[in-house]
Amino acid sequence: MPSSNPAFKGLGNAGYGQQSAAWGAPQYGAPGQYGAPAPHDPYAAPSPYAATGTQYMTMDDVVTKTGLTFLVTVLAAAATWMAVPDTTAIALMFPAVIVGLVLGLVISFKQITNPVATLAYAATQGVLVGAVSEFYNDNFGGNLVTQAVIGTFGVFFGMLVVYKTGAIRVTPKLTRWIVGALFGVLALVIVNLVASFFVDGGLGLRDGGPLAIVFSLVVIGVAAFSLLLDFDMADEAIRRGAPAKFAWYIAFGLLVTVVWLYLEILRLLSYLQND
């Protein structure tokens, strides 16, 4: 069945069988080039049990690569929190955002499945998470970070259960809705940022008020549903016979969504604590 996920358009029909014989290639039983019948040697045919040399992606590959990617992020975040002073950690936020954004766009648009690229992105995200967590810890207390971590894992495993049980099925229509919501959230964030240069607080989407709380809840909902797309992408890649290295791209997509979800939950909790 054709996929609506743009991540698989480059895969074609990989893993779905061999290509048909080229035009002009001699067929078994057909006359040879000079009219003599072509000899048929049954032992010359390739064995159906012979190894193809291609390693296809499995769920174990996805779990292993994703676990390693998240581990690098956690270690980088912990190192940033413990080894970097408070003032320096805040200064690291901006370069971490820029480097992570550039790496993320390159990996996304070129669909890079190289482990070095994914783990480099994981390290930059770890620095960002560590710096932001330290900032919120200093201003709102350590419980806020703990609550955000618990909330992130709760949403992650909750959406995984929803996906695995089929309570919500990822259809082309749902995919379009989620992608549309993603672009809508991005547009509102940009407009709010631009408006903040002219009006104090911009549109009020990030000032901690009631509208900001509602907007943050919407963003968390969009991020949670984006996890369904990530899970579906992994399953579909396995069904399509994607190469094993594609698991690094799956891990990258999951990391993007989980870090986004964590930062937004952290922001929402800070709004609620101010009330």
Q: What is the pLDDT of residues 219-232, one digit of tens each?
A: 999 999 999 999 99
Q: Rounded mean pLDDT of 166-191?
A: 93
Tens-place pLDDT, residues 68-86: 999 999 999 999 988 877 7
**Structure confidence at residue 197 as a pLDDT band (50, 70, 90):** confident
Q: What is the distance between the terminal CA atoms of the chain, rounded to a whole angstrom?
A: 50
Q: Is 150 exposed, middle or buried (0-12, 13-18, 19+ CB in 10 A)?
A: exposed
- Predicted confidence at residue 78, as pLDDT, reads 92
142 vs 101: which has the higher pLDDT: 101
Is the pLDDT confidence value at 4 over 60? Answer: no
What ranges do the domains of the chain cover? 59-274
**% of the chain with per-residue pLDDT over 90:** 58
Of the listed ranges 15-29, 124-138, 204-218, 260-274, the least confidently predicted one is 15-29
pLDDT at residue number 138: 83
Higher pLDDT among residues 252 and 50, named by residue: 252
pLDDT (tens digit, 9 = 90+) per residue, 109-138?
A: 988 899 999 999 999 999 999 999 988 888
CA contacts within 13 A on the Cβ side of 46: 6
Adjacent-strand bridge partners of 31? 37
What does the pLDDT read at residue 46? 45
Task: Identify the pLDDT of residue 50.
Answer: 38
The beta-strand segments (E) located in 139-252 are none
What letter would DSSP give residue 44? G
Q: What is the structure's pLDDT at 255?
A: 97
Picking from 152, 129, 271, 165, the residue whose alpha carbon sits closest to that of residue 223 is: 152
Beta pairing partners, 56: 243
pLDDT at residue 170 above 60?
A: yes
Query: Residue 67's pLDDT is what?
Result: 95
**Contacts for 114 with CB less than 8 Å, ≥ 6 apart:** 245, 248
CA 75 – CA 125 distance, rounded (Å): 11
Instruction: Give the predicted TM-score (pTM) of the model.
Output: 0.79
Q: Is the pLDDT of residue 169 over 70?
A: yes
Q: What is the C-alpha to C-alpha distance for residues 32 and 35, in angstroms, rounded to an integer?
A: 5
Predicted local confidence at residue 142, as pLDDT: 64
CB neighbour burial string for 251-274, b if at least 16 within 10 angstroms, e if fewer: bbbbbbbbbbbbbbbbbbbbbeee
Cβ 228 vs Cβ 162: under 8 Å: yes
The pLDDT of residue 62 is: 94
